A and B are shown apart, each in its own frame.
Chain A
Amino acid sequence: VNIQYKKGVIELCLLATLSKKDMYGYELSEYISKMVDISDGTVYPILRKLKADGLVTTYLSEDSGGPPRKYYSITKTGLKEFESDSKDWLDFVATVSKIIKGEK
């Protein structure tokens, strides 16, 4: 599938993932690139854009014992955005699959 096409969806995937739990950058990157075929490091600019838009925030945590890691966590605005965007997406996918299958 076209790369530009995937990018828009990755935003939604990232919000979906973060709505379940906080994760650090590399963890998110690995998780998403395992599911969707994108080159490594594609999610970092998208995460930054989500942060600039106020949908996610970051904090440093040393819980894992190692050096402090930058964790991403979803904001209230992010959750709202995710809820409405995922609904739109599911409706859209349902419509597209109907059209593909030639249903009326």
Chain B
Amino acid sequence: MTKKEYLDELKKELKLNNVDDIDDILEEYKEHFDFKLEEGYTEEEIAKKLSSPKEIAKEYVPSSAPVNKYERATKITGLTFLSIPAGMIYLLLWASVAVLGAFSLACVVTGFCLLTTINIAGLIPSIPYFPALILSIACFGLATLSAVGTFYSFEYIKQWGKVYVRWCKNVANNNHYPSLSKHPKISKKLASKLKFVAMVGLVCFVAAFIIGYFSMCIAAKSFEPWHVWKWFE
């Protein structure tokens, strides 16, 4: 059997046995083939040394006792009622991600308006160009920071949804499936890049905000430049 034949056969057998997380299991055997190939074995030799896909698939069927039907129905009813408030909270979490995303977008638009002095619907109050330029940098910094925040909260909330569904399945089926990690899979490389981007965003925001404020003060000759420029009148 070649590598592909073996993995296809294994996938078929795992499906027949209703095994969960098939991709994860296949990945492990794919890796096994890759390592052995590197050591100089042929695909046929490697497949021959492994147990047959049928036998392996059987090993992945959990040995937990079959669930009592009556007990299962009770649990599912309970879970259904629990899922109503849980679903609402989950929806709220998604809404807050959307709000954070919208905030990030709003920062981009504001920054863009300040930078180009295009005043959409009179949203930008009167301000000299130099502080406006600095404040636009602050806006972009805040936008970057909240974009990274949006990405992380999106990934986390997605993962928590999966964790909840898996937990429900496990309650109903006597811990039939492996529990999932509370953390989403974000590769180390991406995580360190995002961390860097977020730090740059934070520094830009804080520095530009402070400089922007004082340049406004100097331009208006007052610590409350918004009164001098009559922003709220």
Chain A residues in contact with chain B, CB under 8 A? Answer: 25-26, 29, 39-42, 44-46, 48-49, 51-52, 54, 60-62, 68-70
Partner of A25 from B31, B178, B185, B189 at Cβ < 8 Å: B31
Find out whether the CB atom of B31 lies under 8 angstroms from the CB atom of A45.
no
Judge whether B68 is part of the interface by a CB distance below 8 angstroms: no
Instruction: Known contacts A51-B178, A52-B178, A68-B187; decide if A26 and B32 are in contact (CB<8 Å).
Output: yes
Question: In the complex, are the beta carbons of B187 and A60 less than 8 A apart?
Answer: yes
A26 touches B31 (CB 8 A): yes
Assess the A39–B29 pair: CB atoms within 8 A.
Answer: no
Chain B hits for A60, CB < 8 A: 185, 187-188
Q: Looking across the interface, which residue of chain A has its beta carbon closest to that of B39? A: A30
Complex: chain B residue closest to A7, CB-CB: B59
**When the two chains form their complex, are residues B46 and A25 in contact, meaning their CB atoms are under 8 A apart?**
no
**What is the distance, in angstroms, from B156's C-beta to the closest C-beta of chain A?**
17
Pair A40/B177 contact, Cβ less than 8 Å: no
B interface residues, how many (CB within 8 angstroms): 24
Q: Once the chains are docked, how many angstroms separate the CA of A61 from the CA of B28?
A: 15
- List residues of chain A with CB within 8 A of the CB of B62: 49, 52
Decide: A29 and B188 in contact? CB cutoff 8 A: no
Q: List 28 A-B contacts (CB under 8 A).
A: A25-B28, A29-B32, A39-B49, A39-B50, A40-B32, A40-B36, A41-B29, A41-B51, A42-B51, A42-B59, A44-B25, A44-B28, A44-B29, A44-B32, A44-B56, A45-B56, A48-B25, A52-B62, A52-B179, A54-B179, A60-B185, A60-B188, A61-B188, A62-B189, A68-B187, A68-B188, A70-B27, A70-B28
- Please count the residue pairs between chain A and chain B whose beta carbons lie under 8 angstroms apart in the complex: 56
Contacts A41-B51, A45-B56, A52-B179 supplied; 9 other A-B pairs, CB < 8 Å? A25-B28, A29-B32, A39-B50, A40-B32, A45-B59, A46-B59, A60-B185, A60-B187, A62-B189
Is B60 an interface residue when CB atoms closer than 8 A count as contact? yes
Q: Is B229 an interface residue (CB 8 A)?
A: no
In the docked arrangement, what's the CA distance between A77 and B41, Å? 38
Are B46's CB and A26's CB within 8 A? no
Contacts of B50 in A (CB 8 A): 39-41
CB contact under 8 A between A52 and B56, given known A26-B31, A70-B28: no
- Encode B166-202 as 1/0 by CB contact (under 8 A) with A: 0000000001011100000101110000000000000
Residue B231 interfacial (CB < 8 Å)? no
Contact of A41 with B185 in the complex, beta carbons under 8 Å: no
Decide if B35 is an interface residue (CB 8 Å cutoff): yes
A44 to chain B, nearest CB (A): 5
Given known contacts A26-B31, A29-B32, A41-B32, is B51 in contact with A48 (CB within 8 Å)? no
Give the distance in Å from the alpha carbon of A44 to the alpha carbon of B56 in the complex.
9
